[in-house]
Amino acid sequence: MTTMADQEVSGLSLRIPGDWFAVDVPKDGAAADRLADELVTAYQATACPPGLLRTMVRQMVHAYSALGLAGAYVGIFSGAGGPLSMTLIVSTRLVDGYTMDEISAELIAQDTAVRRRTAVQVELPAGPAVRAEWVRDWPTLAEGWRKACLVVQYVLVPKPSQSAVILTFSTEAIEYTSKLRPLFDQIARTVRLEVPSS
């Protein structure tokens, strides 16, 4: 069983694997490049070309620039061809009369490289949620590098909050999808709204 560690972000609590680490979400292109350089230095054994890693981090910043970013986490595990990454972005946004399905569809519509999307309603301990899954194509920047990644996203509104919580997992380890889905589900099931004591 995966050892989990407690995290608190923006009035929420959740549990992530103990070997994942939190990262400061970059606010602009220069900060995104610095984060990419730090990741390259920390994981020199990875096959990911630095140019592609910078593009991935920059696109992450652009995709979530309009959302209330709460936290970001990265995990590295050993695959058959070398180190592989998993990321989790935690963000929030006001519901503003939108349903969870509408919020989920709006977020996915912002990604022009989506293919094979599926979405279902699920029940989490924090409340009902929409779970969407798709494959995202990355630009071809290096021969032999993976050109796609798996994205699994949960949109939920923990009671009694009026803000949607968005958990976005991504990994280039598409061949490990059947093993990673349960891990992502396990993390999503730990989300709780921290209600201040009166």
Domains and CATH numbers, the chain: 4-20+68-193 (3.40.1000.10)
pTM of the full structure: 0.77
Please write the tens of the pLDDT for every residue from 110-159.
666 666 678 889 999 988 899 998 887 766 544 555 567 888 999 988 77
163: nearest Cα among 97, 65, 105? 97
| CA-wise closest residue to 122 among 190, 185, 192, 187 | 185
The alpha helices in the chain, defined as continuous H runs, are: 29-42, 50-63, 100-109, 177-188
pLDDT of amino acid 1:
43
Q: Are 150 and 170 in contact (CB under 8 A)?
A: yes
Q: What is the pLDDT of residue 183?
A: 93
Q: How far is residue 115's CA from residue 117's CA, in Å, rounded to a whole number?
A: 6
Reduce the DSSP state of residue 63 to 3 states and report it: helix
